[in-house]
Amino acid sequence: MKIEIIKSQKPKTLKIYFVKKLERDSLFLPESKKLYIKIENSDSESYRLAGGKAMKILENEDFKSAVVESSKGIQYIIEGMLLGSYRFTKYKSKPKKFPLERLFIRAEYGVEDAIKRATTIAEATNFTKDIINSMPNEMTPQNVSKVAEELAKANNLEFSALQVKDMERERMEAFLAVGRASSNPPTLVKLAYRPANSKKRVLLIGKGLTYDSGGLSLKPATAMTTMKSDKSGASAVIGIMKAISELKLDVEVVGFLGLAENMVGGNAYKPDDILRAKNGKTIEVKNTDAEGRLVLADTLVYAQESEPEFDYIIDIATLTGAAVISVGEFTTLAMGHNDKLKEKMLKAGEKSGELVTTLPFNRYLKELIESKVADISNTGATRYGGSLTAGLFLSEFIKEENHNKWLHLDIAGPAYVEREWGYNQFGASGAGVRMVTEFIERLGK
Ligand code: BES
Ligand code: ZN
Ligand code: ZN
């Protein structure tokens, strides 16, 4: 959708009014080319939701252009409109285009910067959705790496990728075990944005399982569908790198993507195997479906060794079904050892329109991942507190001196939308992109 800022002359086209006082949610008068959308409250999310609602209504009308009439919240309205008008039609032989092509905004509101910010953030989020929604046969680890490489070229980011041989040399036995049974080889991608006047340095680590069949601990058929979305963490990191480089934030950010496919085969890793991670810790495999934490273990160790100086290390992962059970499908679960850092992310969530909450670790949960034969087990002794035991597992791969810099985001709930909500349509939501971009933006101020 093209956004045009116009001076005074109003085009003779549909006008969308965003108003506080309306007896119902919306009022559409197609004859007189007027659409009224009610704004529930004065917060930014109310404006985004209203923008999204307008798109929902206009999806089945044939207006090609519209003027947005609102003196307030224009940045959020546009963000909601751009997110709400996203459609994934790549595999349709007759794709239905979203009818609206041009949006006019009146310059008298003084909107240039706000519009630029809204479009950058929404486009980065929609870009992430495209990667996640693409089928697993197409978005293999190597092909996600190519998407990252193309972004690096376009946006002037550093790009490098470890292949199987490099990862063997780096002794990433846990990561390699997960990818071994797939004919699509794994890869560990590093993307870096290094501005001249950096105020802080952040490491981002994304879980990029381009498919999670569960491995030999095979998922039941109904749980396996949607598992193309197990690359949502890595895809979010790509989207964040796009957003922060286009917003030219004064924060250095290095992203690491752990890309692999968890499959079955004669050479598959097995429950009962013991793997040695890059930091020397041995892991008893109790369930090959708890694969994300194995990929992340080596990726986290590698990230801390390759970029030893940093202020924050944040991982983003569709890590546990338990996260969806505990807080629902709309909310990201943040975990870590530093309450102030968690608080910072909660603020970024609120400002960006992403829902996020926290749950606390404790010593008894940690005992659940003890192993009789190795240093640690890849699943908890009980199913209870599954997101927290997964988080505590990751914590074993964060150096002691970095514990307070680390935050783990489990996006298993909001990453993939099976019943649409808010301005999110069926499929990927781009969870993490807007929140973490907001978090980073605050560090640069
Ligand atoms: N990718 C899944 C987690 C997941 C589940 C994400 C549902 C999105 C929706 C992860 O690899 C997994 O399978 N986790 C297991 C862990 C268990 C075996 C300890 C789970 O959550 O059941
Ligand atoms: Zn799994
Ligand atoms: Zn997984």
Assigned domain for 398 exists: yes
Task: Answer yes or no: do 8 and 142 share one domain.
Answer: no
Closest of 233, 152, 179, 146 to residue 431, by C-alpha: 233
Angle at CA 303, nearest 5°, toward 121 and 436?
Answer: 20
* CATH number of the domain within which 302 lies: 3.40.630.10
* CATH number of the domain within which 34 lies: 3.40.220.10
Assigned domain for 114 exists: no
Q: Would the pLDDT of 30 be above 70?
A: yes
Q: Whose CA is nearest to atom 22 of ligand 1?
A: 321
- Give, rounded to a whole angstrom, the gap between the first and last alpha carbons of the chain: 30
Task: Answer yes or no: do 99 and 245 share one domain.
Answer: no
Range 370-374 contact pairs with CB under 8 angstroms and sequence separation of 24 or more: 371/283, 371/284, 372/284, 373/274, 373/284, 374/274, 374/282, 374/283, 374/284
Which ligand sits closest to the CA of 226? 1
CA separation for the pair 123, 393 (Å, rounded): 34
Task: Answer yes or no: do 390 and 427 share one domain.
Answer: yes
Assigned domain for 51 exists: yes
Assigned domain for 288 exists: yes
Give the per-residue pLDDT at 109: 64
146 catalytic per annotation: no
With the most atoms of ligand 1 within 8 angstroms of its CB, the residue from 263, 269, 289 to mutate is 289
Assigned domain for 110 exists: no
- Residue 378 CA to ligand 1 center (angstroms) comes to 12
pLDDT digits (tens, 9 = 90+) for 103-160: 999 877 668 899 999 999 999 999 999 999 999 999 999 999 999 999 999 999 999 9
Give the per-residue pLDDT at 106: 83
Q: Would the pLDDT of 84 be above 70?
A: yes
Closest of 224, 235, 206, 297 to residue 264, by C-alpha: 224
Task: Answer yes or no: do 71 and 189 share one domain.
Answer: no
Q: Which two tokens stand for residue 96?
A: 């239905």
Question: How many helical (H) and strand (E) elements, i.e. helices and strands, does the chain have?
Answer: 14, 19
Q: Whose CA is nearest to atom 16 of ligand 1?
A: 290
Give the per-residue pLDDT at 74: 93
Task: Answer yes or no: do 79 and 24 share one domain.
Answer: yes
Q: Cβ(15)–Cβ(114) under 8 Å?
A: no
Assigned domain for 85 exists: yes
What is the arithmetic mean of pLDDT over 63-73?
Answer: 91
Give the per-residue pLDDT at 299: 99
- Kindly provide the residue ranges of all beta strands, DSSP E only, lying in 124-220, ordered along the sequence: 158-162, 187-193, 200-212
pLDDT digits (tens, 9 = 90+) for 277-319: 999 999 999 999 999 999 999 999 999 999 999 999 999 999 9
pLDDT digits (tens, 9 = 90+) for 157-216: 999 999 999 999 999 999 999 999 999 999 999 999 999 999 999 999 999 999 999 999
pLDDT digits (tens, 9 = 90+) for 361-396: 999 999 999 999 999 999 999 999 999 999 999 999
Catalytic residue among 201, 219, 344, 399: 219
- Region of 272 (left: φ > 0; alpha: ψ -120 to 50; beta: rest) is left
How many domains does the structure of the chain reveal? 2
Q: Which two tokens stand for residue 139?
A: 């978005």
Task: Answer yes or no: do 195 and 50 share one domain.
Answer: no
Helices assigned H by DSSP within 209-253: 221-224, 232-246
Instruction: Give the residue numbers spanning the domain of 191.
Output: 122-443
With the most atoms of ligand 1 within 8 angstroms of its CB, the residue from 226, 320, 326 to mutate is 320
Task: Answer yes or no: do 209 and 158 share one domain.
Answer: yes
Q: Which two tokens stand for residue 236?
A: 């979010």
Task: Answer yes or no: do 251 and 220 share one domain.
Answer: yes
Tell which of 104, 139, 171 closes a domain: 104
Assigned domain for 116 exists: no
Tell which of 69, 104, 139 closes a domain: 104
Give the per-residue pLDDT at 7: 79
Angle at CA 144, nearest 5°, toward 140 and 150?
Answer: 145
Mean pLDDT of the chain: 97
What are the C-alpha distances in Å from 189 to residues 128, 143, 186, 278, 279? 16, 11, 10, 16, 19
Q: Would the pLDDT of 274 be above 90?
A: yes
Task: Answer yes or no: do 210 and 99 share one domain.
Answer: no
219 catalytic per annotation: yes
Percent of the residues in the chain that have a pLDDT greater than 70, as a whole number: 99
Catalytic residue among 106, 293, 342, 434: 293
Give the per-residue pLDDT at 192: 98
Q: How many CA atoms lie within 13 A of 130 on its CB side?
A: 14
- Residue 422 CA to ligand 2 center (angstroms) comes to 28
The burial class, CB within 10 Å (0-12 / 13-18 / 19+), for 350 is middle
Q: Cβ(17)–Cβ(34) under 8 Å?
A: yes
Nearest ligand 1 atom, CA 214: 13
Q: Which residues pair with 106 in a beta bridge?
A: 6
Give the per-residue pLDDT at 110: 67
Task: Answer yes or no: do 202 and 328 share one domain.
Answer: yes
Tell which of 38, 70, 104 closes a domain: 104
Q: Would the pLDDT of 262 be above 80?
A: yes
Assigned domain for 301 exists: yes
pLDDT digits (tens, 9 = 90+) for 42-51: 999 999 999 9
Task: Answer yes or no: do 76 and 177 share one domain.
Answer: no
Q: Which residues pair with 316 in a beta bridge?
A: 206, 409
pLDDT digits (tens, 9 = 90+) for 395-445: 999 999 999 999 999 999 999 999 999 999 999 999 999 999 999 999 998
pTM metric for this prediction:
0.98
pLDDT digits (tens, 9 = 90+) for 323-363: 999 999 999 999 999 999 999 999 999 999 999 999 999 99
Task: Answer yes or no: do 23 and 159 share one domain.
Answer: no
